[in-house]
Structure 1
Amino acid sequence: MSASSPSDWYRSWGKRLLDVALAGPLLLLTLPLLLAAALALRLANGGQIVFRQLRPGLNGTLFTLYKLQTMTNACDAQGRLLPDAERLSRLGRWLRATSLDELPQLWNVLRGDLSLVGPRPLLPHYLPLYSPTQARRHEVRPGITGWAQVNGRNAISWQQKFIYDVWYVEHVSLGLDLRILARTFWKVLKAEDITTAGHATTAAFTGNQPNQDENLA
C-alpha cells in the first residue's frame, strides 16, 4: 500500500483543522464589527439583520448559509421582489464592498458547512444546470473565498469561474489555500471585482451552451 501524500492528508484532515483553527479566532476578533454592522442594519432595514438561504455544499448536500442582510424585501404592486439594484441599500452596498456581510459565514465554517477556501456555494436550482465537469466543484466543501474569487470574482464569466473551481478541486493543498487567503485580504482592501458589469451583484447562471463544457477539460 502506497503512503499518502501530504496533499492527501491535507485534503482529508489538515484542511478542516486549518478551518477550525482560523475561523474561531477570526469570529471572536471580528465580533465587534459584526455587532456594529448588525445594529446599523437593524436601524436601516427595519430589523432585518441576518440573511438565511439554502445552498448546496459538499456532494451537493444542502445547508443554511448565513450572511448579513444587505437587501430589503421591497416588492412591487404585484408582490414580486424588486430588482437587486433597487433593494440593495447604501449600507448594504458598503457591507458588500468591504465583505463584512460575509462574516456570519465563519459560523458556517465552524459547523462544517463551509471551508475558508473552496468554490463559492451557489443556488440550489443551479445544480441541474451544471455539466458533469462543472459539478465536480462539489467534490470539496464550498468556501468563503476561493480560486475564482481571487482571479476575477464577479468580473469574469460563469464558465471561467467553473474552470477555476474545478482547477482548485484538482490542486487542493495547504500552500494554495494560504496563497488564496493572502490574495483575498488584498482583494478585500482594494474592493475589487465585487459586481458584474451592468448588474448590482452578478448575473444569474442560466446553463451552458452546447459543447461549451469542452473548454473545461
Structure 2
Amino acid sequence: MKRVLDIIIATLALIILSPIFLLVSHKVKRNLGSPIFFYQERPGKDAKIFKMIKFRSMLNATDKNGNPLPDEKRITSFGHKLRSTSLDEMPQLINVLKGDMSIVGPRPQMKDFLEHYTPHQMRRHEVKPGMTGLAQVNGRNHLSWEEKFDLDVEYVNNRSLWLDFKIMFKTVVVMFKKEGINAPDQSVGAARFTSQGVSDVNSSHQNQ
C-alpha cells in the first residue's frame, strides 16, 4: 500500500507542480547554465546506492587545478533562494516513481558516511529513504546528527501509513513557515567520524 500511495502522490504532485517544475528548470538554466539537474550517489534501502536528483543550486566554478571552489564562492543568491524554498528537492519525485525513494522516510545521507555509522544508526536503511521524514518536521537543521539519526530509527520502529500522513501534513506546514531551513545545515556539512559514529563540524560539504 505504501508503494501504491508513493506512485499516486508522486504522479499527482508532478502533474500539479509541472508549471513550477518548468519555471524552476528555466530559472536554473538561465542563472546557472546546463545541466539543470544535479545527481549524487546516496545509499537507499539496505544501503544500496542510487542517484538522487536535485535542481542545481551552485555554479560549476573551479580553480586553476580543476577543483571546485568553496561553496560560498559557487552559491548564488538564486541558489540560496532555491534551497530556502526546498524547491531544489522537487526532482526527487522522479526518484520516488523509479522506486529509489519514498515520499516519507529517513533522508538519504552521503554514501561516504556509511562505514562510520553505528549499528543503531544503520537501521535507518531498513526502509527506503524519503523526501521528508521525522527529522525534517521536528527541527530539521537545528538538530544534531545523533538526534536526526535517532528520529530516523524511531520512524523505522513505528512506521505506518498514519504516521506517513502526519509527517506529510507537518512537512507542508514547516515549508510554509520555513522552520529550520535557514539554520546551518548539518546534514550537508562535512563530518568528523569516530569509531563511535558521526560528530558534527561546521564546515560545509560541496554540492550536498
Match of 2:63 in 1: 76
Could you say what secondary structure the match of 1:80 adopts?
coil
Pair 1:124 & 2:111 matched: yes
Q: Is the 8 A contact 2:61 2:68 kept in 1?
A: yes
Match of 1:203 in 2: 189
Q: Is the 8 A contact 1:65 1:105 kept in 2?
A: yes
Q: Is the 8 A contact 2:117 2:197 kept in 1?
A: no
Match of 1:152 in 2: 139
**Aligned equivalent of 1:180, options 162, 167, 181:** 167
Distance 1:207 1:195, change over 3 A: farther
For structure 1, which segment, 41-50 or 59-68, has the greater mean C-alpha deviation from structure 2 after superposition? Answer: 41-50
Q: Is the 8 A contact 1:50 1:66 kept in 2?
A: yes
Larger Rg: 1
Distance 1:211 1:194, change over 3 A: closer
Q: Which runs of 5+ in 2 are unaligned?
A: 200-208
TM-score (norm 1): 0.85
Match of 1:111 in 2: 98
Q: Which runs of 5+ in 1 are unaligned?
A: 1-13
Mapped partners of 2:174, 2:182: distance in 1: 13
Mapped partners of 1:140, 1:61: distance in 2: 11
Q: Is the 8 A contact 1:130 1:208 kept in 2?
A: no
Map 1:14-33 → 2, pairs under 5 A:
14-33=1-20
Mapped partners of 1:39, 1:167: distance in 2: 39
Mapped partners of 2:98, 2:124: distance in 1: 20
For structure 1, which segment, 40-49 or 112-121, has the greater mean C-alpha deviation from structure 2 after superposition? Answer: 40-49
Shift of 1:209: 6.5
TM-score (norm 2): 0.89
What amino acid maps onto 1:18 in structure 2?
A: L
Match of 2:78 in 1: 91
Mapped partners of 1:191, 1:133: distance in 2: 30
Shift of 1:110: 0.6
Identity of aligned residues (%): 43
Distance 1:17 1:190, change over 3 A: same
Shift of 1:193: 1.2
**Aligned equivalent of 1:168, options 144, 155, 168:** 155
